[in-house]
Amino acid sequence: MKEIILKSLAKIEEDFDVKILYAVESGSRAWEFPSKDSDYDVRFIYVHKKEDYLTIDQMGIGKKRDVIELPINDLLDITGWELTKALKLFRKSNPPLMEWLRSGIVYYQAFSTIDQMKELSKVVFAPNSCLHHYLNMASNNFREYLQGDQVKIKKYFYVLRPVLAAQWIEKYNEFPPLEFPRLLEDRLPEGELKREIHTLLKRKISGDELDYEPKIEVINQFLNEEIARLKEYTSKLNVDLPDFTPQLDQLFRNTLEEVWK
């Protein structure tokens, strides 16, 4: 599969006249709870040539798109962000981008930009925005999928993971790992709740359908209470971060020199 992904990335470079800096897995495979029919969610960061930036129209305006998206099929979902778009989101500690930088499944990396971003991410990290992101994700999925007597049981993972990620931020004041098993082992004590989640995890990975089933009371109660508690915690959190724009401007200029020299 990696060969197919790399061929797709090479074709993107050729078709769009760009250089790809980084490409990773971002979905359930990176979170370590894939199903047997899970597709591949490939995300990448790319840069245009110098002259493409030296125009009166900025990237992302009009026809100068700052996203490349290939048509999604049953196997592959490939999307990329242009570097200035990525750096502006990075400045805000954008959680999806921060997750890309921490993915354990790297398909491709070239040049030094991403290593520098990974190093900077330790100080750019903004707990407020990341907590809001994960709690909104958890709340929306909990409300949409896990109410009523019969629930779409695989959706438990799409509420549990952001809740555990928020707990990690609360405890360590750092961006959480992507891997669900690591979050689970660190954040929950041994007991009925953890056993029920482990059972679900084994079923999902082994290929069980995990469609509509009776809701699991111990998990629902935990999620309901934790989402409320973490929202209260987040509402009182106030963290001021310095403006990293000068460093990111320099990183962008250095990337253009390194890539297109």
Identify whether residues 65 and 161 lie together within a single domain.
no
Identify whether residues 119 and 185 lie together within a single domain.
no
- Amino acid sitting at position 196: E
Identify whether residues 109 and 163 lie together within a single domain.
no
Identify whether residues 119 and 248 lie together within a single domain.
yes
Helix, coil or strand: residue 76 = strand
Identify whether residues 99 and 113 lie together within a single domain.
yes
Identify whether residues 113 and 7 lie together within a single domain.
yes
The per-residue pLDDT for range 112-128, each reduced to its tens digit, is 999 999 999 989 999 99
The per-residue pLDDT for range 154-180, each reduced to its tens digit, is 999 999 999 999 999 999 999 999 999
Identify whether residues 105 and 13 lie together within a single domain.
yes
Identify whether residues 15 and 100 lie together within a single domain.
yes
Number of domains making up the chain: 2
Given the structure tokens 């953890």, which residue do they identify? 194
Which pLDDT score is estimated for 73?
85
Identify whether residues 6 and 72 lie together within a single domain.
yes
Identify whether residues 166 and 224 lie together within a single domain.
yes
What is the span of the domain harbouring residue 106? 2-123+243-260
- Amino acid sitting at position 89: L
Report the percent of the chain where pLDDT is more than 70: 100
Report the percent of the chain where pLDDT is more than 90: 83
Q: What CATH number is associated with residue 87?
A: 3.30.460.10
Identify whether residues 131 and 105 lie together within a single domain.
no
Q: Which residues contact 50 (CB under 8 A, 6 or more apart)?
A: 256, 260
pTM for this prediction: 0.93
Task: Look up residue 93 and give its DSSP letter.
Answer: T
Q: Quick check: 30 pLDDT over 80?
A: yes
- Reported as a pLDDT band with limits 50, 70 and 90, residue 206 is confident
Cα separation of 201 and 180, whole Å?
9
In degrees rounded to 5, what are phi and psi of residue 22?
-165, 140
Identify whether residues 142 and 185 lie together within a single domain.
yes
- For 172, counting Cβ atoms within 10 Å of its Cβ (0-12 exposed, 13-18 middle, 19+ buried), the class is exposed
Q: What is the mean pLDDT of residues 22-47?
A: 92
Cα separation of 141 and 155, whole Å?
7
